Chain A
């Protein structure tokens, strides 16, 4: 299992990047009131058929040629189930994929957040031509972060430049505190 929610998020988002998504939406809900922590990743990548949807939930399956077992989705599912939560995986070939883990916030096994800003920025750095949208929802506030808006400000400067990425990470973390 991953040590934090942020590492989980980065890992699942990297599946979407690999599936050639043009748009990736990430929603992170953290609510005492609803006793809920959830992470949802939606993409418009190449999607999966029924058989594949079943198979990828089994850790002994992967389409990787470098290794025989895939771990990302099984880890994500295990995390949800360990925390009295639910796991959803919906996908359609050539349409996209939605994957979501919802957990009971009060459950002992909910991983710590980790460095969310870092995970979001690293996800964007994987492929800066992809449109990323991040929504954060808690009891007190909502925050949204959109890579198009950032792209517009940065012009020909990459998000991956050290001072830019560290500023953005801090900006996101400050906003979701």
Chain B
């Protein structure tokens, strides 16, 4: 059974990892979590981004946003680079999220086939 006492140790470990990975984020990942997004399956997409970014130890933040206004394209994810350029990925799922983390966030290659333009 887990207890909150264990959380302190985990926190210290995480802190060490974060200190090593200095500097600001290269990418900002924004996941649409309005009613439409959640109903379409945005939760596993969000979690896949968070887990994969940590696994690959990449510099990117993941945040939630409400309805972006293109409900029929949900789950929807926007990725901003340091210069503020936006890529919009549509009809997302957890597998696509893993691929996008590896290519887009890891190597800077946009996964064109998942973007809104490809639809």
Contact = CB atoms under 8 A, between A and B. Distances in A.
A147 interface: no
Given A7-B43, A14-B33, A122-B43, A167 B50 contact: no
Interface string B51-62: 101110000001
B54 A72 contact: no
Contact of A167 (B10, B33, B35): B10
A76 B83 CA distance: 40
Contacts of A118: 43, 47
B50 A162 contact: yes
Contacts of B62: 160
Nearest to B2: A171
Interface string A48-75: 0000000000000000101100111001
Given A7-B39, A71-B36, A149-B4, A163 B64 contact: no
Interface in B69-83: 69, 71
A174 B4 CA distance: 12
A66 to B, nearest CB: 3
Interface size class of chain A, counting residues whose CB lies under 8 Å from the partner chain: 35 or more
Dominant secondary structure of chain A at its interface with chain B: helix
Given A18-B66, A67-B69, A167-B2, A157 B18 contact: yes
Interface string A142-177: 000000011001111100111111111011001000
Contacts of B46: 122
B71 A67 contact: yes
Interface in B14-36: 14-15, 18, 33-36
Contacts of A66: 66-69
A132 B119 CA distance: 39
A164 B14 contact: yes
B14 A161 contact: yes
A125 interface: yes
A11 interface: yes
A2 interface: yes
B11 A155 contact: yes
Contacts of A115: 43
The 5 closest A-B pairs by CB, nearest first: A66-B69, A162-B54, A71-B35, A72-B35, A171-B2
Given A161-B54, A162-B55, A167-B6, 4 more contacts: A67-B34, A67-B67, A153-B8, A171-B7
Interface of B: 1-2, 4, 6-8, 10-11, 13-15, 18, 33-36, 38-39, 43, 46-47, 50-51, 53-55, 62, 64, 66-69, 71
